[in-house]
Amino acid sequence: MSEQIFDLVVLGGGPGGYVAAIRASQLGLKTAVIDENPVFGGTCLRVGCIPSKALLESSHLYDEARSHLGAHGISVNGTVSVDLAAMMKRKTQIVGTLTGGIGMLLKRAKVTAINGRGTLQANGSIAVSSSGGPVSTVRGKNTLIATGSLPMMLPGIEFDGVYVGDSTSALAYDKVPERLIVIGGGYIGLELGSVWSRLGSKVTILEAMPAVLGGLDGEIAKLAVRIFQKQGLEFRTGTFVESARRTGDGCQVVIKGGETLTADRVLMCAGRVPNTRNIGLENLNIQTDRRGAITVNEHFQTSTPSVFAIGDAIGGAMLAHKASEEGVACVEMIVTGHGHVNYDAIPAIVYTSPEIASVGKTEEQLQQAGIEYNKGVCPYGANGRARTLGDTEGRVKILAAKTTDRILGVHAIGIRAGDLISEAAVAMNFGASSEDLARCCHAHPTLSEIMQEAALAVSGRAIHT
Ligand code: FAD
């Protein structure tokens, strides 16, 4: 059996792996990327970021047409209705276009794209098997593991992929469930819960912890819950699910204490775990932590020096852009000896309505670390553009170091907060102070003026609040 030899072989073609492969090729490495799926793009493009945002947009438009156009003096004659099959088709087309595009990008970058399941071998090569086809082997002078993550399953959950399913199931329901129970109040549960709630489901979110959206700034998370409750989402925190299973045409969920809830569908969104089992780590003695995240040093190097790992497979924030940044930094380190990810300035966005966006430290983290800070807040209600958009709920909060005024964290909830946060992330990457942001001229009328006002508010100089 002949073995193909490359400078770098990337295992996993998600936003971590395919981006790393293209950058490696740009840097002159003969590169291959392996993915077990027929298309590249990983969780993000196939069953994550992209399809969820497509459904969020469609369901948002439905909600707008049904409930909010009247305020603009626009009436929709007749009833507004949903063609779920058409909505799903649009989503599938977007995914198809984007995954097809990744194939083209790999080809243009002269990266060898290999379809099949790869397993690391003790001799350093990777055995690649595709269904029905012969097993081939590829070898890289260096290997990069980017196998991503999988939904976490809890004991007692009788997963069947349809009635009791995960985010992938909820991206493809064939009808709107009357009652939907979401297990887990993280960002994926809230996004998909919002989609189905807008389309007509009665959604209940069960969260074992005392609060949902753990990890977000506490004040922003509390405000978010109040807004989502007004939208009809029901939250039950401190609620530990003991079992969930299909019962005929519906589902039954038992929570600790014995209470039984029923629903048409159950969506398991209790987090994701690194996808590092059955990929042959044991053959090379590659170390993982308790959750299965591959242990790496600051060069993304595993306990085997020629094997590197990035993205969801190494834990940390499970975000597509974090995986891509790590992919680029890792191959730049391999080739040039230098590469860097600024973990203090990685933005995170929840694409609900309103959006929730953050970058940097929360108030809770600063307090815990004993770091003194000043805070500037601007409500959306003080902004002219928000008024014209008819969406004034929310705020932007900037946290800056008391001694230096350097921006340490920015947290926002409100319409298009996800777009606003880029400015904060750029500012933080350049080590900006709140004064720097406040002194930048922001166009009027734009939502970005909320960021400027919040920056002015840090030193008590806000004009419009
Ligand atoms: P992945 O994207 O998981 O890619 C890994 C790839 O490796 C997969 O294609 C997998 O099939 C393949 N693979 C695994 N093992 C093997 C093997 N042995 N052989 C061959 N191939 C293998 N993140 C955001 O930043 N923004 C969002 O809005 C967002 N929304 C999300 C919504 C949902 C519903 C979900 C589930 C996730 C979302 N995420 C979002 C998270 C994001 O998708 C992940 O953080 C990101 O995809 C991780 O990239 P990765 O390259 O590390 O892994």
**Which two structure tokens, joined as six digits, stand for 45?**
């493009």
Nearest ligand 1 atom, CA 192: 34
44 C-alpha to ligand 1 centroid (Å): 5
Which pLDDT belongs to residue 77? 80
CA of 62 to the centre of ligand 1 (A): 28
Whether residue 421 contacts residue 455, with contact meaning beta carbons closer than 8 Å, is answered with: no
Ligand 1 midpoint to CA 43 (Å): 3
Q: Is the CB of 15 under 6 A from ligand 1?
A: yes
Find the 396 Cα to ligand 1 centroid distance in Å. Answer: 30
Work out the angle between the directed axes of helices 84-108 and 17-26 (0-180°, nearest 10): 30
Looking up tokens 């933080």 gives: 428
Q: Is 361 in the pocket of ligand 1 (CB under 6 A)?
A: no
Q: What is the pLDDT of residue 1?
A: 57
Tokens of 48: 């994550």
Nearest CA to ligand 1 atom 35: 48
> Quick one: pLDDT at residue 230?
96
Verify whether ligand 1 is closer than 6 Å to residue 147 (CB atom).
yes
Question: Is the link from the previous residue into 354 a cis peptide, with omega within 30 of 0?
Answer: yes
Name the residue type at position 413: I
Mutate which of 147, 194, 350 for ligand 1? The one with the most ligand atoms within 8 Å of its CB, which is 147
Q: Which of 44, 286, 346 to mutate to test the pocket of ligand 1 (most atoms within 8 A of CB)?
A: 44
| 165 pocket-lining for ligand 1 (C-beta < 6 Å) | no
Model pLDDT, residue 3: 87
Question: What integer pLDDT is reported at residue 214 of this predicted model?
Answer: 92
Position 290 scores a pLDDT of: 94
Nearest protein CA to atom 14 of ligand 1, as residue: 147
Cβ-based burial of 214 (10 A; exposed 0-12, middle 13-18, buried ≥19): middle
| Residue 453 region by backbone torsions, left for phi larger than 0, else alpha for psi between -120 and 50, else beta | alpha
Residue 41: CB within 6 Å of ligand 1?
no
Cα 77 to ligand 1 centroid, rounded to whole Å: 42
Residue type, position 176, single letter = V
The sign of the torsion formed by the CA atoms of 416, 419, 423, 424 equals: positive
What is the set of active-site residues? 444
Cβ atoms 185, 233 nearer than 8 A: no
β-partners of residue 32 are: 9, 112
pLDDT tens per residue across all 465 residues of the chain: 578 999 999 999 999 999 999 999 999 999 999 999 999 999 999 999 999 999 999 999 999 999 899 899 999 887 899 999 999 999 999 999 999 999 999 999 999 999 999 999 999 999 999 877 778 999 999 999 999 999 998 999 999 999 999 999 999 999 999 999 999 999 999 999 999 999 999 999 999 999 999 999 999 999 999 999 999 999 999 999 999 999 999 999 999 999 999 999 999 999 999 999 999 999 999 999 999 999 999 999 999 999 999 999 998 999 999 999 999 999 999 999 999 999 999 999 999 999 999 999 999 999 999 999 999 999 999 999 999 999 999 999 999 999 999 999 999 999 999 999 999 999 999 999 999 999 999 999 999 999 999 999 999 999 998
Residue nearest atom 15 in ligand 1 by C-alpha distance: 147
Nearest CA, atom 8, ligand 1: 42
Q: Which atom of ligand 1 is nearest to the CA of 313?
A: 52
- Ligand 1 centroid, distance to 274 Cα (angstroms): 10
Q: Is the CB of 149 under 6 A from ligand 1?
A: yes
Q: Residue 382: CB within 6 Å of ligand 1?
A: no
Looking from the CA of residue 53, the nearest atom of ligand 1 is: 28
319 lines ligand 1 (CB under 6 A): yes
Q: What distance in angstroms lies between residue 320's CA and the mean position of ligand 1's atoms? A: 7
